[in-house]
Amino acid sequence: MNKKGHPPTLVPAHPGNRNAVKSGVYSPAALAPRVHELEAAMATRSVRDAAADLLRRELAALAALGEAMDDSLARDGVQGRHGEPRTLVTQRLRLNNHMLRTLEAYRATDPEPVEDSLPLPDAQVVAAKADEKEVEQRSLVEEVALSHGHPTIKWLWPRQFDPESFLAAVIRSRDPSVRVNDRLRARRMLTRRTKDRPYACVCISTLRARNELQLREWIREAEDLLAPEADDPVIAALVRRLAAGEAIQPWHAYEKTEKAFRHVVEQGCDRARGVEEAARWTGEDTSVIRPFWNILLSPDTEVTAHDRLMAFAALDDEDALPRCTCSPSARRSGSGLDERRAMTIRLVAQKHLRASLHIAEYPETFLAVRDAIDARVLADLRQTAEGEESPAADL
């Protein structure tokens, strides 16, 4: 090696070489000059003013990020390609909590808080503060009950139990007794339940509405987040044509759509006749499975999340929890246009939380399906009435 080097290519030494630095986000050396500038600027101001400026900027950044997330959810929906909840929903909820904490800290920097032009009555102020405190101190038992639309878990029965709502409650619970490992396990279990579900699956439902009023409330809440899909008028028109008895051609391109339409109309007529759907098996009446339900739905706050998840896994192994029962062919099939139309028609006729999200995206199809069911029920009633009156007319 030439110790003197090659003069044309020699360059001066680079103490503290930063040639590889790009943004410098993770480099203390790159950030040091700006840190010194900010420190000098903050030293000339009061602690309250400096904190207020920092929190104001942080709050504005969080608000901008929240708007971008809301735009994405409104544009692309709250569900992924396979029907699973988007991770952006969880991130948006976390951002909201972070924003609330930052806002509270920012308010504390104001020595003379400005009263709102329309202040809440004292009772409402107290209630609002109590609600905020309740969110922070809500136990896992209360979180599970509220996730099922009940004020107490004592009102929750095995046949009303929604596995996905329970797992989501464990994940988002702020109960200090819920460990990180419990949340991670609940996350794995929730992912496993949703990832194998085919796109067009309608055999498994989420939380079922107690009545028509609760379903309407869910739909109104979903309409605030979701916009109608572009193909909603098209599917609604197909439903009306099928209801009018029209044969849509080519038949092979609308086979699943027509079958789904006939199925939901027959189901609607059965409900009108008082024919109840067969209740799913839960095993709550058997001595072997009942103890696991008692652990899972225990109102005792001393029952840990770990024990509840163990009971959940045992019930799942015994097929006591609802799960996807789609045929192997349905699992292998893709998300073709005919399948998507059929799934939409079947979903808007249901009365559970997942269905309410779909109804908000397909409001015209929802009304068309309801009209078709009502028309068939009225036709059956007229036919029955005419059949009962005909003997008397002959006399």
pLDDT digits (tens, 9 = 90+) for 318-368: 888 887 766 655 544 545 788 888 889 988 988 888 788 889 999 999 999
Torsion of CA 340, 84, 194, 143, to 10 degrees: -140
Residues 179 and 218 in one domain: no
- Number of domains observed in the structure of the chain: 3
Rounded-to-integer distance, Cα 281 and Cα 221, Å: 31
3-state secondary structure of 337: helix
Picking from 268, 297, 321, the residue at the C-terminal end of a domain is 321
Asked if residue 301 and residue 316 are part of one domain, the reply reads yes
The first and second tokens of residue 60, run together, are 């504005």
Residues 265 and 350 in one domain: yes
Residue 377 belongs to a domain: yes
> What stretches of 162-231 show up as alpha helix (H) in DSSP?
163-172, 180-195, 212-223
State the pLDDT at residue 367: 92
Same domain, residue pair 268 and 203: yes
| Residue 124 belongs to a domain | no
CA distance 246 to 254: 12
Q: What does each C-alpha distance from 86 to 11, 83, 231 come to in angstroms?
A: 53, 9, 22
Q: What angle do CA 303, 305, 308 make, to 5 degrees?
A: 75
Q: Read off the tokens for 51.
A: 């904190």
Same structural domain, 191 and 340 = no
Predicted pLDDT of residue 210: 76
38 occurs within a structural domain: no
| Shared-domain flag, residues 258 and 357 | yes
Domain contains 36: no
Collapsing DSSP states into helix, strand and coil, what is residue 285? Answer: coil
Whether residue 230 is predicted with pLDDT greater than 70 in this model: the reply is yes
Mean confidence (pLDDT) of the chain: 77
Which residues constitute the domain of residue 91?
44-108
12 domain-assigned: no
Mean pLDDT of 53-62: 80
**Is 113 a member of any domain?**
no
* 121 in any annotated domain: no
**Based on the domain organization, do 219 and 174 belong to the same domain?**
no
296 and 171 within one domain: yes
Residue among 234, 220, 193 at smallest CA distance from 357: 220
Residue 125: pLDDT band (50, 70, 90) is: very low
Q: Provide the pLDDT for residue 303.
A: 92
Residues 274 and 343 in one domain: yes
Q: Both 175 and 288 in a single domain?
A: yes
Kindly state the average pLDDT of the residues 152-178: 88
Give CA–CA dist 338/71, Å, rounded: 29
- Residue-wise pLDDT for 375-388, tens only, equals 888 887 787 777 66
pLDDT tens digit sequence for 26-35: 566 666 777 6
191, 202: one domain? no
Assess whether pLDDT exceeds 80 at residue 163.
yes
Q: What is the mean predicted confidence (pLDDT) over 25-54?
A: 70
Please tell me the least confidently modeled range out of 177-181, 254-258, 278-282: 278-282
User: Is residue 244 one of the residues assigned to a domain?
Assistant: yes
CB–CB of 99/66 below 8 Å?
yes
Same domain, 64 and 182: no
